[in-house]
């Protein structure tokens, strides 16, 4: 994923890491191997630099 502009500030149901504006989400133990037909989800929170009123312009998953 990419978070532009912004900074990763938190998340859930994944181990999150960031490098610049790129965010990587990796499964955690309790959702690493979903049963057939099941699904898993995760979420994250980000923040903008102080005084920056631009909305994120790039959010994509790969």
Q: Are 15 and 28 in contact (CB under 8 A)?
A: yes
Q: How many other C-beta atoms lie within 10 A of the C-beta of residue 3?
A: 21
Can you tell me the distance from the alpha carbon of 25 to that of 36, in angstroms, rounded to the nearest whole number?
Answer: 21
pTM of the model: 0.61
DSSP state of 48: P
Tens of pLDDT along 37-51? Answer: 998 888 888 777 778
Task: Give the per-residue pLDDT at 56.
Answer: 67
2 or 19, which is more confident: 19
Strand, coil or helix: 2 = strand
Tens of pLDDT along 16-29? Answer: 887 776 778 888 99
């Amino acid at each position: 994923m990419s978070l532009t502009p912004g900074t990763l500030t938190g998340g859930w149901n994944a181990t999150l890491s960031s490098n610049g504006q790129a965010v990587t989400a990796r499964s955690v133990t309790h959702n690493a191997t979903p049963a057939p037909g099941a699904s898993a989800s995760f979420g994250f929170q980000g923040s903008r630099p102080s005084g920056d009123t631009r909305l994120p312009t790039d959010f994509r998953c790969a």
